[in-house]
Structure 1
Amino acid sequence: MKASGRTDTALGLGTPRGPVAALTKILVYAMLVAVFAGPLIAVLVSSLDRVTDPTKLSFIPRHFTFDSYRVAFDRGVFKYLLNSLVVVGGGLLLQVLVSVSAAYALARKRFPGARLVLLLILSTMMLPEEVLAIPLSLILGDLPVLHVSLLNSLVGMIVPVGAWGMSILVMTEFMKEIPIELEEAARIDGAGEFRLFWSVVLPLCRPALGVIGIFGFNMIWDQYMLPLLVARDSAQYTLSLALRTLRDDPEVGIGVLLAGSVLALLPSIVVFLSFQRQFMRGLTSGAIKG
């Protein structure tokens, strides 16, 4: 809303103009970058430097070198990174498939006990990992019906993260907002159930898919308890578990840990930057009606 050449903000304040206002904005932005991006930049720069004291990280490398990454490669960090990528790729794919299928049934179908099913799904989000550790390890050691063990395998780290209550909730609430008239029109045109789901409902859920994709990726990528339960030897370690091992190794310096930390941070940053448009659309889709 404009009044007298000024634009009112959400707080009811006019937009400031002039050199003082511009300088203030630059200072505020600089402080925000220093607070949020400063630690990441310090870790990245220090991983390219010869750091001996973890309390003395810098923003400018004094002795530029890739020795930390070379030592990390020799210690198998890139192999652990590959394990993490396999787990997060398979787990996220399975999680998205389960989420969209469950959400479609809960949001677009009517059956007895639907609210109870949704309540049970949400209740799984209230249980901490420590409570689930023992029963999860017993189930993975002897999978019901099949009677096979998933311990000491990457599959054992993928299957438990295939269903996540938050992703199902986000997709369910988003699908409820899709007009039912679109389905009725598609049915009149002869679309079957699968065609209706694949060609009508799912394309409209791209913003929600971006949201659950980013949150699901970070949830799986940050897993520590699950790899700790499943992995029995170092060949099955993920990067988060390997960093703990490297930290306990007296022969590994702080530079190798910083290099491993950078490798652990980069995938999350790349995924967020790749899907940030869908992520923001998914977050704001329910804020505007009409």
Structure 2
Amino acid sequence: MRRGNRTDTALGLSYPRGPLTRVLRILLHTVVVVIFAGPLLALLVGAFGEVTSPTEFTLIPRGFTLGNFTRAIDRDVLLYLLNSFVVVGGGLLLQIAVSVSASYALARKRFPGMRLVFLLILSTMMLPEEILAIPLSLVLADVPVVHVNLIGSLWGMILPVAAWGFSILVMTEFMKEIPVELEESARIDGAGELRIFTAIVLPLCRPALGVIGIFGFTMIWDQYLLPLLVARDAGQFTLPLALRNLRSDEEVGLGVLLAASLLALLPSVIAFLALQRQFMKGLTAGAVKG
């Protein structure tokens, strides 16, 4: 909003208009663009460019080559990428199934100790992964009741991410906003609990499913400590863990490392683009309900 020679901002602040202000705004916008877009541009230039020195890093393209990706594939990057897809695919499916089931019980049912259960779920979000590393490794080495050793197996990376407090919290708060009258009408028509859950509640939760889908995919895809605890040989590495080995390998150049990093980045970008409509609807719905 403009008032004379001054302009009001969204925060209610005002600043004078003039050539100096315009120059400062351009400089500020340039700094913001460089901070956010600079690393991505450097990644693209390094992945597709010819890197003459392993210690030299530049934003200026020097030729175009796919040799970095070829050498990355020779280092079994595709195997690590496949392992990551298996872990994130199985983990995300289990995580969504657990989240919607637990959220339905917490949001639509009443049972003794419900607040305690919800408090325990929230408490898991406050504990750093490093604190849980040793207990988790002991549990995975001898899973209670069944006494199965999951160390050295991809299942050891999938099962621990099957439940995430953030996803349960988001789904619970979203389900609480669904009108109870819809369920009561369905029960009057003779619908059972399972049909109400699958035919009424879940379709209305699509925006929230998009939100937990994107955040869950990113969380599982970026896991580093869990694969580090579980993997016993290079054939079980996921891509984030393999990037550590590529960086420590003196025979691998900077271009190969950046090419592998670009392959690690693309799935998260594709997942966001695929679910961005539901993601934005979920954020908008949360803002309106709040």
- TM-score scaled to structure 1, two decimals? 0.89
Provide the C-alpha distance between the structure 2 equivalents of 1:82 and 1:22, rounded to a whole number of angstroms.
50
Task: Give the corresponding residue for 1:71.
Answer: 71
5+ long unaligned stretches in structure 1: 2-7, 15-19
The reply on whether 1:57 has 2:53 as its aligned counterpart is no
Give deviations 1:228-269, integer Å, cap 9, x for gaps.
Answer: 110001110000111111111111111111111111111111
Provide the C-alpha distance between the structure 1 equivalents of 2:111 and 2:40, rounded to a whole number of angstroms.
49
Task: Give the corresponding residue for 1:173.
Answer: 173
Retained in 1: the 8 A contact 2:54–2:253?
no
Provide the C-alpha distance between the structure 1 equivalents of 2:63 and 2:182, rounded to a whole number of angstroms.
62
Provide the C-alpha distance between the structure 2 equivalents of 1:102 and 1:258, rounded to a whole number of angstroms.
40
Give deviations 1:193-240, integer Å, cap 9, x for gaps.
Answer: 010000100111111111111111111111111001100011100001
Retained in 2: the 8 A contact 1:52–1:253?
no
Q: Which amino acid aligns with 1:238?
A: T
Retained in 2: the 8 A contact 1:92–1:213?
yes
5+ long unaligned stretches in structure 2: 2-7, 15-19
CA RMSD of aligned residues (A): 2.7
Q: Which amino acid aligns with 2:139?
A: I
Task: Give the corresponding residue for 2:275.
Answer: 275
The reply on whether 1:235 has 2:209 as its aligned counterpart is no
Retained in 2: the 8 A contact 1:92–1:217?
yes
Provide the C-alpha distance between the structure 1 equivalents of 2:258 and 2:167, rounded to a whole number of angstroms.
32
Q: Which amino acid aligns with 1:88?
A: V
Task: Give the corresponding residue for 2:116.
Answer: 116
Retained in 2: the 8 A contact 1:52–1:254?
no
Task: Give the corresponding residue for 2:288.
Answer: 288
Retained in 2: the 8 A contact 1:153–1:236?
yes
Q: Tell me the secondary structure at the aligned position of residue 149 of structure 1.
A: coil
Retained in 2: the 8 A contact 1:91–1:220?
yes
Task: Give the corresponding residue for 1:43.
Answer: 43
**Matched length:** 287
Retained in 1: the 8 A contact 2:55–2:254?
no
Shift of 1:122: 0.7
- TM-score scaled to structure 2, two decimals? 0.89
The reply on whether 1:210 has 2:222 as its aligned counterpart is no
Provide the C-alpha distance between the structure 2 equivalents of 1:33 and 1:173, rounded to a whole number of angstroms.
35
Shift of 1:22: 10
Retained in 1: the 8 A contact 2:100–2:171?
yes
Provide the C-alpha distance between the structure 2 equivalents of 1:91 and 1:150, rounded to a whole number of angstroms.
15
Using the aligned pairs only, state the percent identity: 71
1:145-160 correspondence to structure 2 within 5 Å? 145-160=145-160
